[in-house]
Structure 1
């Protein structure tokens, strides 16, 4: 077979044009990197990405990341599906809106103790928003295209070779060269397999089904999530069906097609009814297999999103985890490419994101454990249900699901270090989030300080000063391009301490 070679040397080739690959491409292109995305699918649209299949919940870190790049403002669905702000607690006697769930056990916003989320500005940004995979990919695709990212559909990565200087990527009968390769190509990642990454974890407990169906006699089924002695089913008001059949993932792994007859037989067994499905329009299966690569980098090859970690899609944590990977990796890889990275900067991608991914996998495993249709799991489920109904319990579970407690261990002295910068609003009406669309590191001072301004100019940081409506008692902050606080002070700045923090993240 004759091979065609693209003679362009890209800074980064990304395998996969899903949300993670597109967002990473946007971050790299924003930092003036030359980026190519190779996507195996012939075209971006898939019926399974449309509602209701593609409906996804964005948590607080994802909302903040998209907002800081001016992307959230381009989305339409969130205006119809967003949840109230964390300050929107009901008045006495009012019914509180739902705020999420853990293993389909809902927690109530009326129980939240928002004082436990110390570095949040109540009401400033939504804590969770529902959108569709189709919409988020369209928004990211438009941004990537506008930033000059090259995107090729119908050309999937099939292998690669790397040297100390570059990566040669094979995609069918074509080859491409880049300084770096990032696998954002999903749970069956070719890049991960070809790169020899160890994918450690646990095997599935169930086969999950999501199907768009017509049912002749839906009155035979209960609405909402129903757990029986044989599994779980959920039938929505728009005729889509979710099931969990605790078969150890046998059907999903079998490769057999999902037929109307199989879905009906599984539903009848789980529900213990003779319900009749008259049409199967769309269907997919999934499992709770939970695996994570033991490294996120091998030489000039990196992984992000489902290529690096997979788990059950309970609570929609997978998309959020992947977007967080992209936001964390983008500026670090760009700095490395431009020779502006301090020693070891790229290694912090793994040290920061691996623990976050491991927690999400354990969070998924815990949910599966208490969803099993056996007496031991259901007893534990009842205890968790009681805990979630308490003030501290609801606050803890909501904080985890919404990502409000997410924190990187950055070894800072100030308690704000390692947290996402709050959505600080200035008296002139602007917000810190509105001022980070260029992806630059920021030195923020709540008082005009010539010494800090000089420091920012010398270290190629963006200097912002202004009177804020809320400062959390601090006088100045050093904010990384991904929006996380690297240094903070409550008093006059110690320049030596600031210098030490800046040298860790900026060169």
Structure 2
């Protein structure tokens, strides 16, 4: 029996991100994955929402393909194939970054290695037994079975989580009456227009993204030149079809039903792997709790939903950044009472919001005159500035305010993008994943925070980007306390609430 502080089951993006967060805080977990190596199977194709700013707070934004400087918000997005403009939204929170999941995993594997994380490929969880001090994890590997005695176990093992099922944690929700198919395909070169798009005879150009049609939805995207990702959404379950492997011919027939003409797709050429999958009935489910004793759920193990709009990695990676510093504090014995419970109380409402908006998008893709009318009404509402602002925050995941115990307008939200007078950005101060007390009043808060200097970085300076006198920013980038005056009322209480007694 080997003892370890934290075991993470699953070396996908969420599990690896959590491992890196723990390592930054001085806790090096063991990460288990039954796959022999990172998979290059194409899944998610990009990141959207607040997580992009959090990657910037860890110094990962440029490595993930971002431009120099802070992340810039996108001018608009799609909601159930309806375009939305966010140009006039003040402090637009919506960000997007095209990054395929295998590349993200590659970056996080390298980062985990640099941080000394023990990632064990080909080591799968075969069973889990909760104990009074944590959990015993039964592991299967090519070298034979063994047990790990973990103080904390994190299930990042996907929507069919063995760990969640073993603990009997409920996973309530619904299954939509849809069939989604998607594949990388090849189209004849003579259908390619000068701008690189494909023009289908009898239909016209294949627009980027989702398109709603009379018989379902069409998805088309070229993330690399000449490599077309084509998909369909049809309403009406086909129970039993899921037992038969998906084929290009099946997708071609589905595309004909959706758009009414033949789409002459063929199997792709060139290096793979190529997407080829079917989802017969989309699950939208969330665990009844994200924590059961010393076992915690992360990512798809805690919630599954439609991929429409791209919220998946935004939700799961933010779970990891929220959990990492809290779990590390518990392991190191510096956490105040109840800190780890705030992982569930803060992140479950965000998961509920994602499920709500993803189900809404699915419903608005359905055929029928009633949905036609509803989409027309929704389009009219989207012309209202207040509605556009509401939707931008909903899709970015910034519309849920954490109950941090402070009433300042910034408290409970992701810290604003700001720079100090010397050019240092607040995001750069968070690269080490330590809390920061940013004193913009000239140094008047040092006495109040001095007893926490071993746990909180005190930074003094000025900034033309904000009028606040001071900000206490948690390691995940969320504001725990803020003030517009130099009196410092409430600061010691906020420091004790989140980072332990003085």
Q: TM-score, normalised by structure 2?
A: 0.88
Aligned mates of 1:236, 1:434 — CA distance in 2: 34
Number of the residue aligned with 1:85? 72
- Higher normalized helix content (fraction of residues): 1
Number of the residue aligned with 2:214? 229
Cα deviation, residue 69, structure 1: 1.3
What RMSD, in angstroms, separates the aligned Cα atoms of the two structures?
2.3
- Give yes or no for the alignment of 1:219 onto 2:201: yes
SS of 1:157's partner is strand
Q: Is the 8 Å Cα contact of residues 37 and 121 (structure 2) preserved in structure 1?
A: yes
Aligned mates of 2:256, 2:148 — CA distance in 1: 51
Cα 1:84/1:380, change in 2 over 3 Å: farther
Cα deviation, residue 289, structure 1: 1.4
- Give yes or no for the alignment of 1:435 onto 2:423: no
Number of the residue aligned with 1:107? 84
Number of the residue aligned with 1:426? 420
Q: Which runs of 4+ in 1 moved over 4 A?
A: none
Q: Is the 8 Å Cα contact of residues 16 and 185 (structure 1) preserved in structure 2?
A: yes
SS of 2:415's partner is coil
- Give yes or no for the alignment of 1:488 onto 2:482: yes
Report how many residues are paired. 471
Number of the residue aligned with 2:194? none
- Give yes or no for the alignment of 1:465 onto 2:474: no
- Give yes or no for the alignment of 1:407 onto 2:415: no
Number of the residue aligned with 1:357? 351
Cα 1:228/1:199, change in 2 over 3 Å: same
Q: Deviations over 1:158-217 (max 9, x none)?
A: 211121113211122232221111011111111111121100011122121111112457
Number of the residue aligned with 1:74? 63
Q: Is the 8 Å Cα contact of residues 181 and 277 (structure 2) preserved in structure 1?
A: yes
- Give yes or no for the alignment of 1:258 onto 2:246: yes
Listed as ranges, the matches of 1:3-152 within 5 Å are 7=2, 9-49=3-43, 54-59=44-49, 61-76=50-65, 78-79=66-67, 85-86=72-73, 99-110=76-87, 112-114=88-90, 127-152=95-120
Aligned mates of 1:344, 1:98 — CA distance in 2: 40
Aligned counterpart in structure 2 of residue 447 of structure 1, from 424, 428, 441: 441
Aligned mates of 2:150, 2:352 — CA distance in 1: 30
SS of 1:171's partner is strand
Aligned mates of 1:324, 1:282 — CA distance in 2: 26
Cα 1:241/1:83, change in 2 over 3 Å: farther
- Give yes or no for the alignment of 1:284 onto 2:277: yes
Aligned mates of 1:312, 1:251 — CA distance in 2: 21
Number of the residue aligned with 2:232? 243
Number of the residue aligned with 2:174? 202
Cα deviation, residue 235, structure 1: 3.4
Cα deviation, residue 406, structure 1: 4.2
Number of the residue aligned with 2:300? 306
Cα deviation, residue 483, structure 1: 1.2
Number of the residue aligned with 1:91? none
SS of 1:67's partner is helix
Number of the residue aligned with 1:161? 129
Consecutive unaligned residues of structure 2, counting only runs of 5 or more, are 192-199, 269-273
Consecutive unaligned residues of structure 1, counting only runs of 5 or more, are 87-96, 121-125
Cα deviation, residue 271, structure 1: 2.1
Q: Deviations over 1:260-292 (max 9, x none)?
A: 222222222222223433326531223531100
Number of the residue aligned with 1:89? none
Cα deviation, residue 256, structure 1: 1.9
Q: Is the 8 Å Cα contact of residues 58 and 131 (structure 1) preserved in structure 2?
A: no
Number of the residue aligned with 1:505? 498
SS of 2:78's partner is strand
Cα 1:426/1:206, change in 2 over 3 Å: same
Cα 1:180/1:392, change in 2 over 3 Å: same
